[in-house]
């Protein structure tokens, strides 16, 4: 690790906390989601500041809750407060009804409303102002994800020499899909204001570069190692891919804690000889939950020998509940669970146990350890940390991962996980059967390779790669600045 002798300023849509009232006092608790899982351990190590929204109601109680939470570790919080209108149009609208579906190749779900775009720009400027108030010129400013792609433009215009990096946690779409975005040039141009643009996979980098070639044909593109350097008018922008990962050792350690062991014992006693298949996702149409439930129904139909011998635990964590597409999805999932259970249940056996809530970490780890098979079948996903966490938690070396070939994690896990096309329900049903009849030796062989890979390419590796690329990008910019003088 090189850079972070300097302060790290992480900027993301939300602060990594959620707030609730306890006996009339506002308390914060840790938030969940992939971005938080990855960034929070890094800030705890390095210290610094996290800039992000803290909701729509500014009050002394929120500031006190943040100060209280900050006392527990080495980094501070710098809250941004949004109006209801901003939250609706910038977050629910542009971020989650335009960019999120489009970047996951689901353009028919997009609502290209120009009001959303106005708010997106305005709110991105607000985040840029909050960041500029926080960051010194030597600090590393690291903007996160699709909600904040325009922040670079506003920050650069205010402070041309700042060290700015961006990481996109979701996929970058190919040009024929990206082309649908009415603001396609503005978004690309803003991304070129960073010193480094980080993407999750080689596929995303290829798509991003293809879009730049297509929509900004004057930009020169050089290849350096696996990355690319884009030469815009008077600046260079480095582009690279950095598959995000998990703190493997921490997961392993936590998975062995007494609380987890005890819960695991309870789960094993309850299930007896019945094998456990686990699905664990935020409620999101990109995660392929209805497709997976249909595939599970097909599996019970096509492979009746597994009836009464397997139970499918599907945990769905509530998410983006104010957006209509997500409300419809919840109903669809509930109907499918009822249909499969209605068709196959027998006295003493219900094939699907459905949980619509978040679960505490020790429960999650016990479930990972108890599950004979984890099915991670997104229609498209930036990475998918659940796939990596499942393997890290398998301290016994057992368990089989069924993984979508459209998850960002797929290139790393090919040959070790059972790969499926999530749209191919027959193929997913077959993979479930294959996972359940796999010999323990074969299971262990695959899991050994998976665990070795993730322990080597863990969150620290990701951070080091990213910071090394950031240093290289800045060294070039600073050389360029000296020459210009």
Binding residue for ligand GDG, selected from 46, 263, 282, 369, defined by CB under 6 A: 282
DSSP secondary-structure letter at 285?
Answer: G
Nearer to ligand GDG, 195 or 389 (CB): 389
Stretch that binds ligand GDG, among 1-9, 28-36, 215-223, 335-343 (CB under 6 A): 28-36
Nearer to ligand GDG, 154 or 326 (CB): 326
Distance from the first to the final alpha carbon of the chain: 30
Residues 31, 17: contact at Cβ < 8 Å?
yes
Check binding of 41 to ligand GDG (CB under 6 A): no
Find the angle CA(331)-CA(316)-CA(307) to the nearest 5 degrees.
85
Q: Cβ closer to ligand GDG: 344 or 406?
A: 406
Q: Are 29 and 49 in contact (CB under 8 A)?
A: no
Nearest-approach distance from CB 44 to ligand GDG, in angstroms: 15
Q: How many CB atoms lie within 10 A of CB 434?
A: 16
- Smallest separation (angstroms) from ligand GDG to the CB of 384: 5
Question: What are the CA-CA distances from residue 372 to residues 250, 251, 366, 368, 397 (Å)?
Answer: 22, 18, 12, 9, 11
Nearer to ligand GDG, 173 or 408 (CB): 408
As a 3-state breakdown, the chain gives helix, strand, coil percent values, each rounded to 5, of 50, 20, 30
Binders of ligand GDG among residues 196 to 255 (CB under 6 A) are 244
401 sits near ligand GDG (criterion: CB under 6 A): no
Per DSSP, the residues of 329-369 read: HHHHHHHHHHHHHHHH-BTTB-SEEEEES---HHHHHHHHH
* Pattern 290-329, ligand GDG, x by CB under 6 A: ---------------------------x------------
CB closer to ligand GDG, 38 vs 192: 38
> Does residue 40 interact with ligand GDG by CB under 6 A?
no
**What Cα–Cα distance (Å) separates residue 192 from each residue in 8, 47, 136, 462, 475?**
21, 27, 21, 22, 17
Does 107 interact with ligand GDG (rule: CB under 6 A)? no
Distance in angstroms (rounded) separating the CA atoms of residues 444 and 448: 6
Which of 386, 162, 444 lies closest to 404 in space, CA to CA? 386
34 binds ligand GDG (CB under 6 A): yes
Contacts to ligand GDG from residues 162-191, by CB under 6 A = 169-170
Task: Rule CB under 6 A: say whether 37 interacts with ligand GDG.
Answer: yes
Known catalytic residue: 464?
A: no
Shortest reach from residue 246's CB to ligand GDG, in Å = 7
Mark the segment that binds ligand GDG (CB under 6 A) among 20-28, 270-278, 340-348, 376-384: 376-384
- Rounded to whole angstroms, the Cα distance separating 446 from 466 reads 28
Length of the chain: 485
Shorter beta-carbon distance to ligand GDG: residue 32 or 465: 32
Among the candidate windows 50-58, 252-260, 384-392, 464-472, which touches ligand GDG by CB under 6 A? Answer: 384-392
* Kind of pairing between the strands at 48-53 and 235-241: unpaired
Which of the stretches 31-39, 186-194, 235-243, 267-275 binds ligand GDG when contact is defined by CB under 6 A? Answer: 31-39
Q: Pick the binder of ligand GDG from 221, 232, 359, 468 (CB under 6 A).
A: 359
Report the C-alpha gap between 362 and 347 in whole angstroms.
Answer: 31
Number of residues located near ligand GDG, criterion CB under 6 A: 23
Active site residue 306: no
Please work out, in degrees rounded to the nearest 5, the angle formed at the alpha carbon of residue 157 by the alpha carbons of 78 and 481: 110
Q: Which of 204, 372, 381, 458 is catalytic?
A: 381
- Residue whose CB is less far from ligand GDG, 139 or 281: 281
- Tell me phi and psi for residue 481, to 5 degrees: -65, -40
Candidate residues 152, 382, 399, 422; the one interacting with ligand GDG per rule CB under 6 A: 382
Give the range of 175-183, 225-233, 299-307, 378-386 binding ligand GDG by CB under 6 A: 378-386
Can residue 389 be called a binding residue for ligand GDG (CB under 6 A)? yes
Catalytic residue among 46, 169, 238, 362: 169
Residue 398's φ and ψ, nearest 5 degrees, are -100, -175
Is residue 271 a contact partner of residue 411, using CB atoms and an 8 Å limit?
A: no
Closest by Cα among 417, 396, 115 to 260: 396
Q: Binders of ligand GDG among 408-437, rule CB under 6 A?
A: 408
**By the 8 A CB rule, do 371 and 345 touch?**
no
> Which residues of this protein are in contact with ligand GDG, per CB under 6 A?
32-35, 37-38, 169-170, 244, 282, 317, 358-359, 361, 364, 381-386, 389, 408
The residues that are catalytic are 169, 381
């Amino acid at each position: 690790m090189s850079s972070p002798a300097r302060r790290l300023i992480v900027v993301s849509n939300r602060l990594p906390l959620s707030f609730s009232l306890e006996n009339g006092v506002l308390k914060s608790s840790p938030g969940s989601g992939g971005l938080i899982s990855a960034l929070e351990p890094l800030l705890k190590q390095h210290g610094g500041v996290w800039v992000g929204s803290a909701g729509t109601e500014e009050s002394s109680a929120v500031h006190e809750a943040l100060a209280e939470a900050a006392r527990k570790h080495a980094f501070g919080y710098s809250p941004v407060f949004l109006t209801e209108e901003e939250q609706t149009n910038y977050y629910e609208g542009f971020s989650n009804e335009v960019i999120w579906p489009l970047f996951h190749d689901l353009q028919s779900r997009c609502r290209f409303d120009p009001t959303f775009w106005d708010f997106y720009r305005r709110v991105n400027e607000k985040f840029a102002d909050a960041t500029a108030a926080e960051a010194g010129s030597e600090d590393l400013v690291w903007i996160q994800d699709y909600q904040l792609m325009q922040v670079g433009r506003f920050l650069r215009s205010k402070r041309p020499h700042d060290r700015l990096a961006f990481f996109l946690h979701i996929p970058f779409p190919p040009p024929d899909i990206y082309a649908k975005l009415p603001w396609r040039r503005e978004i690309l141009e803003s991304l070129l204001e960073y010193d480094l643009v980080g993407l999750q996979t080689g596929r995303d980098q290829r798509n991003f570069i293809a879009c730049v070639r297509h929509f900004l044909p004057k930009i020169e593109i050089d290849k350096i190692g696996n990355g690319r350097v884009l030469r815009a008018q008077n600046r260079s922008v480095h582009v690279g891919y950095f598959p995000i990962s998990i703190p493997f050792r921490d997961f392993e350690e936590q998975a062995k804690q007494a609380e987890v062991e005890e819960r695991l014992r309870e789960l094993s006693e309850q299930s007896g000889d019945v094998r456990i298949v686990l699905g664990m996702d935020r409620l999101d149409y990109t995660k392929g939950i209805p497709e997976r439930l249909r595939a599970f129904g097909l599996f019970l139909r096509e492979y009746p020998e597994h009836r009464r011998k397997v139970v499918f635990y599907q945990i769905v964590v509530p998410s983006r509940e104010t957006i209509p597409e997500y409300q419809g999805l919840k109903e669809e999932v509930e109907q499918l669970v009822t249909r499969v259970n209605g068709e196959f249940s027998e006295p003493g056996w219900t094939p699907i146990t459905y949980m619509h809530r978040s679960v505490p970490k020790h429960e999650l780890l016990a479930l990972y350890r108890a599950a004979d098979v984890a099915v991670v079948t997104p229609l498209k996903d930036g990475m998918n940390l659940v796939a990596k966490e499942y393997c890290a938690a398998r301290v016994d070396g057992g368990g089989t991962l069924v993984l979508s070939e459209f998850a960002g994690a797929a290139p790393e896990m090919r040959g070790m996980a059972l790969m499926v096309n999530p749209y191919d329900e027959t193929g997913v049903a077959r993979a479930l059967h294959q996972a359940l009849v796999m010999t323990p030796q074969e299971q262990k062989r695959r899991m050994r390779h998976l665990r070795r890979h993730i322990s080597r390419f863990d969150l620290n590796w990701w951070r080091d790669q990213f910071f090394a690329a950031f240093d290289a990008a800045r060294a070039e910019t600073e050389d360029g600045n000296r020459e210009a003088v």
